[in-house]
Structure 1
Amino acid sequence: ISYTGEVIRIGHFGSKNSMSAFAAFSAIVGISTWLMDSIPKPIKMLGAICAALSILVFYFAKSLGTNLTFFIMLAISITLYIYSNRNFSIINRSTLNSLLIGYFLLFTVTIYSTFDFNYYENLMVSIGKDPTITGRTIIWQIGFYSIEDNPIFGVGYDAYWNEYNSGALEIWERMHKEVGDPFGFHNTYINYYVELGILGLLSILMVLLSCIKHSYQRVTHGMDPFDIAVFMLLLFYLSKSFFETSGFAPFSINHFSICLIWVTLNRKTFFDCGKKTIIVFEGKE
């Protein structure tokens, strides 16, 4: 890592972030395969092996944030599995869900209002981590300057990173990168806002809010193991979206994940929509 000098063996993954993303996706698939009753035993064993290998990849990625996020997400998913198998009525589930969301929002507001940057900085230094989150806060600040200049339509997809843009040059210099190296803002929402403007930001927010809405409906009516697996992917995507540019590059694992999450939670597949194919032979249906 150029900014900190840390050495990570990323192999064929290309980057530390890509390595952790693949590990999380594989671990979720492996754990879900192992837990589903309808899966044959040989496949369940392969799922368990996949999960174990993925956790090893997590270890070698040396990402404190990703590791912490994954295990918190795993704990939430186990809680959801137990909760979904309880014999609660829909009314009781709706009431309990509303209370939990209220407590979560209150907790978030409390953390935001009482946040002490000096305490945070000392804590990060004490555990050997960079308070700027590996230079992310510096990148975000530069990105906000571009947002102020181009708030509606942004600068255009992939148009920010060129040698004639002073903001891009400053980021490359401060992150110790060569001019022209592929880079991003390490925040999905800032990246969308800078390149695609408020319209692009609203687009990704609508997709994510749609997924959250349908997840809430699934929780209210009870989630099966497959729904919980998809919800795990959504939680991981949301947690990474604040510190990585997730799903912005076409054909990436994160882009595939958000498409899979949206299609599955919204039940927009061919089979879920209830459509039937009518085949016509010699003028007869």
Structure 2
Amino acid sequence: MSDVHEHVPKERGSVWQADVASIGILVLFVLLIYGIERFLQPTLGRSGLLVAGVIISIVPAFIWLAFFYRRDRLEPEPKHMVFQLFLLGALLANGIGIPLVDGWFDVPNWLSSSPVLAQLLGGWLIVGMVQEFLVYAAVRFTIYNHAEFDEETDGVVYATAAGIGFATVLNIAFVVNSGGVALGSGGIRIVLTTLAHAAFAGVIGYFLGRQKFEKRPLYWMPLGLMLAAGINSLFFYFRSMLSSGSIKVVGGAANPWLGLVLAIVLTGVVTALISRAIHNNVEEALAAVEEG
């Protein structure tokens, strides 16, 4: 009986608590940056805005890692492996993701000006698939077969680390290519990008965790990749429409905060759905053990 219980998934409530707490802190961070720009009105030259933008790009990753390490005191995870996944996600973004999307496919020069269907398909099959496959690969070909990957929730933790590393490099590239960014609007974009990629990676991690510990059909992981890539495409399409004012809301003006709200909602919904799915899986597994 003990051997069976070793394979029964466990709930890891502190993972979801840490996710919710980190979302709250990131929102406060954006409000702080926005307040500094609006009320203190610091005078920064091009170099100052560049340095400030790079620092702001890194802060969300440190916030997430800090909450992970705090959670780790209750439910130990190999810290070095989580950090390695973060670094690997960053390296894959810089070495493969950005060169493929921006260079090989030249996405910045045609995607946003294309018809809606082409934008959605390009965002899904090119941008989304490249980015989410690299997050998948970061976990699948490193920690996946390690003994420390011993719970379904571990897939979410490790994939999220890779996704946040990926997002961090995307944010730094955005700042550098823009020659610096305004603190308020730049901070909003950086945080929403981090939250969104954490959500996409959470989907990948959930599918990886289920695949490792259950007998899943061959289409299971491709389905997870396509789903994460599709959410990626839809999110950034609607974020662009909301932020530019193309989708009219109350007031009808362009508002970068709407993109942040969308990212918060997306991350919250994905976190809740994954948490509920794992909870249901735990209950089903325990019921099966009791019946056996």
TM-score normalized by the length of structure 1: 0.31
User: How high is the TM-score relative to the length of structure 2?
Assistant: 0.30
